[in-house]
Each structure stands twice: as C-alpha cells, then as structure tokens.
Amino acid sequence: MCDYSLQNVASRSARVGDKLTTRNFGSGTRGFAAPEDPTTAVCVLPGTELAFTENPALASCDEPAIGQQLAIFRQINKEQPHTHHDALEFPDGRIVLLTRLADGQEATVLQLPAPPMTAQEEQAQTRVAYAG
C-alpha cells in the first residue's frame, strides 16, 4: 500500500530497476509512478534504495535544496494515522516527505530491502495501514 492519500489510486509494488517519476495524483499527495503508466502509483517498501537522476527539487522554492541523489525510502510518523508517512532519507541524515518533492523528479530503484530476519526488522519494513 502507498501513502494514505493514494488509497483510491491504482497501484503496484516497486521492482529493482524501475524508473520512477514523482507525480501529483490529485489526491492531496505526490508519489511515484512509472513513466509508461503515470496513473498507477508505484509503492515502495521501507528500506528501498533509490538513485535520482539529478539532485531532487522540492515543490516549495522556500526550502533549501537537497543536494544529494541517493536516498532510502522510509515511513515516518507511523503513530499518526492521518498524516503523510512516505519519506526519503538522504546520506546526510535529512528526511524529506515524498509529497514535498516537485513533480517530475526521476529516480531508479537500486535495491529492495532484504527480507526481515528479526521481529524488529519486520516491524521497520511494515507499511502503515490507513484506517480511515
């Protein structure tokens, strides 16, 4: 499942090598879509490694530039059910909500997370379930 506001959008799971583009789905959030099917959200598991083709731009010009092209997909604020959870963690430790990226940012899925070996790893990879 993708972020809560993409609940009513067609979706599929990300695969290694996928070329993704950030897109506003008209549901109050941005997410990833494949260029060949911009109406389908591509859902990314926490721990997935991504490489952007350029330094990602933010939708708001008032925010400092990210200045890094590698990121790990995370979910944050899991205890808050009615907020955005999908985020990117950059090598400098900065965490940016996916919905804050500008439309049209291109990224490639480099690696999916390894299967969890412990309960703690399984919990870290579990996506937030939306209870609307």
Residue with tokens 């060949």: 36
The predicted-structure confidence for 5-49, as pLDDT tens digits, reads as follows 566 788 899 999 999 999 988 877 788 999 899 989 998 989 999
pTM over 0.95: no
Q: In whole angstroms, what is the distance from residue 80 CA to residue 18 CA?
A: 30
Q: In whole angstroms, what is the distance from residue 55 CA to residue 9 CA?
A: 27
Q: Which helix (H) or strand (E) holds 122?
A: helix 119-125
- DSSP class of residue 5 equals G
